[in-house]
Structures are given as structure tokens and as C-alpha cells.
């Protein structure tokens, strides 16, 4: 799954979950925590596998349910202690939605769920033939382009554009939460540079 799809799935689940609980839509800081957490497993594992060669694939320690569950519990405990439950909830939903998405992503191509992706260290996924670092990323891009070219345009729309598009629309309707954090950060940097 692509980074923007992980972010979209995480935000959609988080926002709809809060709506179902009768709460306000996501705020700025919890949306930022959510967004960062949706990327965390790939940032950690792809770096350790592709960049340092410590793991045979990009599905390792940060993708493991044996790591994600205690990290989520610790995040919730920390959030409760600091009065930041929404931020910790955003983090947990973002992190865990990433793992779920990576397990079920093969269904889009008619495959089976790949639970092995989240069972490290009990199960290791098959090592890449080659291509670490940037080369591995280019392999993914080439495979994606080839798959999309072979698909019906409607299938491409439904399988790859619908989720990010719907989530983008929802995010805009909800007032683009999270952007205020980045605007404040940019303003702070601008003032310090002057």
C-alpha cells in the first residue's frame, strides 16, 4: 500500500470512529499524530531493511503485532497520564491501521491476506532477490505502473483512487485538521530565521 493510502485509511477510520462515538471530528494535534503513525512502520522497517540490510524485507519489527500492541498500550497510558488521549488514540489508530492495511492489501489484486507481514519474529517474510535502497523503491513503482496499465480504468479508479479521494473530501469538509500545526511550525521557523 502506498503512503497516501495508509494516511487516507487511517484518517477515514479515525474520523468515522469518532463520529460513530458521537464526538467532534479530529483536531489538529491528533490528526498529526495519526498521520505520522500511519507512516511509522514503513519508515522504520524499510529503512532498516532497504538502507541498512538488517532485515530481509520491509516487514519486520515495526510491522510486528508483538511490537505494535505494547507500543499502543504504552501510548494510551502516556496519553492518559498527560491528558492527551485524543493524540494517543490518533497514534494508535494510525499505527494499527497500517498493519491491517498491509495484511489485506493483496486482496486488491485477487490474492489472500498476508498475515506473515505482521508476525515478526515468529515468521520472516521471503527475502528480496535484490534491489535495496532506492532500487527497491523503484521496483515497487515499476510493478505498480505495470499493474495499473494492465487494469481496466474503472478498476484503477475504484482500487486506487476512491479511498484517497473520499478521504481527502472528508478531510476538507472537516476543516483540514492538522494543517494549523504545520502553519504554526512554518511561522516559528520563519521568525527564527529572520
d(CA 124, CA 105): 18
pTM: 0.90
Task: Using DSSP, state whether 107 is helix, strand or coil.
Answer: helix
Helix (H, G, I), strand (E, B) or coil at 157: helix
H-type alpha helices, the chain: 3-20, 28-46, 65-81, 85-104, 134-149, 153-156, 162-173, 179-193
Count of Cβ atoms closer than 10 Å to residue 143 Cβ: 10
pLDDT of residue 33: 98
Burial track 82-119 (b if 16+ CB lie within 10 A, e otherwise)? eebebbbbbbbbbbbbbbebbbbbeeeeeeeebeebbb
| Segment 11-41, tens digit of pLDDT | 999 999 999 998 889 999 999 999 999 999 9
pLDDT per residue as tens digits for the range 136-173: 788 888 988 998 899 899 988 998 999 999 999 999 99
Q: Where are the domains of the chain?
A: 3-193
Give CA separation, 69 vs 20, 84, 135, 186, in Å.
23, 19, 32, 34
pLDDT one-digit tens code per residue, 106-118: 999 899 999 999 9
Backbone angles phi and psi of 121, in degrees to 5: -95, 5
Give residue 131's pLDDT: 64
Amino acid at each position: 500500500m502506498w503512503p497516501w493510502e495508509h494516511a487516507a485509511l487511517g484518517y477515514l477510520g479515525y474520523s468515522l470512529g469518532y463520529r460513530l462515538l458521537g464526538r467532534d471530528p479530529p483536531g489538529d494535534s491528533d490528526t498529526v499524530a495519526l498521520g505520522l503513525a500511519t507512516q511509522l512502520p514503513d519508515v522504520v522497517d524499510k529503512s532498516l531493511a532497504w538502507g541498512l540490510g538488517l532485515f530481509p524485507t520491509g516487514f519486520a519489527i515495526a510491522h510486528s503485532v508483538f511490537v505494535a500492541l505494547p507500543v499502543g498500550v504504552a501510548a494510551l497510558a502516556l496519553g492518559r497520564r498527560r491528558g492527551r488521549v485524543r493524540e494517543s488514540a490518533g497514534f494508535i489508530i494510525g499505527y494499527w491501521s497500517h498493519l491491517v492495511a498491509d495484511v489485506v492489501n493483496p486482496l486488491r489484486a485477487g490474492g489472500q491476506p498476508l498475515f506473515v507481514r505482521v508476525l515478526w519474529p515468529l515468521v520472516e517474510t521471503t527475502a528480496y532477490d535484490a534491489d535495496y535502497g532506492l532500487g527497491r523503491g523503484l521496483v515497487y513503482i515499476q510493478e505498480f505502473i505495470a499493474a495499473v496499465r494492465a487494469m481496466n480504468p474503472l478498476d484503477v479508479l475504484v482500487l486506487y483512487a476512491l479511498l484517497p479521494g473520499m478521504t481527502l473530501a472528508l478531510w476538507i469538509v472537516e476543516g483540514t485538521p492538522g494543517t494549523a500545526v504545520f502553519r504554526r511550525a512554518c511561522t516559528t521557523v520563519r521568525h527564527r530565521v529572520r
